[in-house]
A and B are shown apart, each in its own frame.
Chain A
Amino acid sequence: SQQGEEDPQALSIQEGENATMNCSYKTSINNLQWYRQNSGRGLVHLILIRSNEREKHSGRLRVTLDTSKKSSSLLITASRAADTASYFCATDLNTGFQKLVFGTGTRLLVSP
């Protein structure tokens, strides 16, 4: 079965609010990555966190990783209408060759 389950499936907020998305996975990983997909487009890499890291920041993005709970969260602060997209976590399994297993995605809608 798929590796990543994301929660919530959909999130609707107002501009300026924070958005938090969660990802759970099942097996040990090398790293976990978050990608963004705008409607009708390909995925764009946002941030990568390694299995020995607990938190990373990139601009308005904050990612946490709890390997004991096999979960990660993506926080987007001070959201903008342009942040409207689907967000996917992807786990890089410990299998030698990189094989990303994607979560189910969270659809974020940011209203002006």
Chain B
Amino acid sequence: DTAVSQTPKYLVTQMGNDKSIKCEQNLGHDTMYWYKQDSKKFLKIMFSYNNKELIINETVPNRFSPKSPDKAHLNLHINSLELGDSAVYFCASRLGPGTAHQVGPYQETQYFGPGTRLLVL
């Protein structure tokens, strides 16, 4: 009963290739995120979607394009992969605003997927 799942778990590819990472959450959350964690464990937000609408778009190269077909899924496509793209990519979700649930820490907690370890050779 995985709450936030990502595929694939590992991805090894050559420079210049195009690859996609998929994320799905079965928590009924409204908001989803993509983060990048570098080799020094620094975690930085890349994108966020709320009900399929892009709400956060950090300074990320245009080669990265998120897509949310529905509010339970947020995919990340990366074109022309570069060595510097090697990292662990985490998807996360959050209940978010605009629901009938109580306002509280539960609504503001982010739930993370297990990560996708991308290695570009």
Q: Which residues of A contact B (CB under 8 A)?
A: 2, 31, 33, 35, 37, 40-45, 48, 86, 88, 92, 97-102, 104-105, 107
Contact A48 B109, CB 8 Å, known A88-B43, A100-B45: yes
Q: Is B18 on the interface with A (CB-CB < 8 A)?
A: no
CB-CB < 8 A to A101: which residues of B? 45
Inside 8 A of A45's CB, which chain B residues have their CB? 109-111
Question: Assuming A97-B55, A102-B42, what are 19 further A-B pairs, CB within 8 angstroms?
Answer: A2-B42, A2-B44, A41-B114, A42-B4, A42-B90, A42-B113, A42-B115, A43-B43, A88-B43, A98-B96, A99-B56, A100-B110, A101-B45, A102-B43, A102-B44, A104-B40, A104-B41, A104-B42, A105-B43
Count of interface residues, chain B, beta-carbon cutoff 8 Å = 25
SS class of chain A's interface: helix, strand, loop or mixed? strand
- Could you pull out 12 A-B pairs where Cβ atoms are within 8 angstroms? A41-B115, A42-B113, A42-B115, A43-B90, A43-B112, A48-B105, A92-B108, A97-B56, A98-B48, A100-B110, A101-B45, A102-B43
Which chain A residues border B56 with CB–CB below 8 Å? 97, 99
Q: Are A33 and B108 within 8 A (Cβ)?
A: yes
Considering the chains assembled together, what is the distance between the CA atoms of A104 and B41 in angstroms? 7
A97: chain B residues at CB < 8 Å are 48, 50, 55-56
Of A35, A41, A88, A102, which is in contact with the most chain B CB atoms at under 10 Å from its CB? Answer: A102
CA distance A101 to B42 in the complex (A): 10
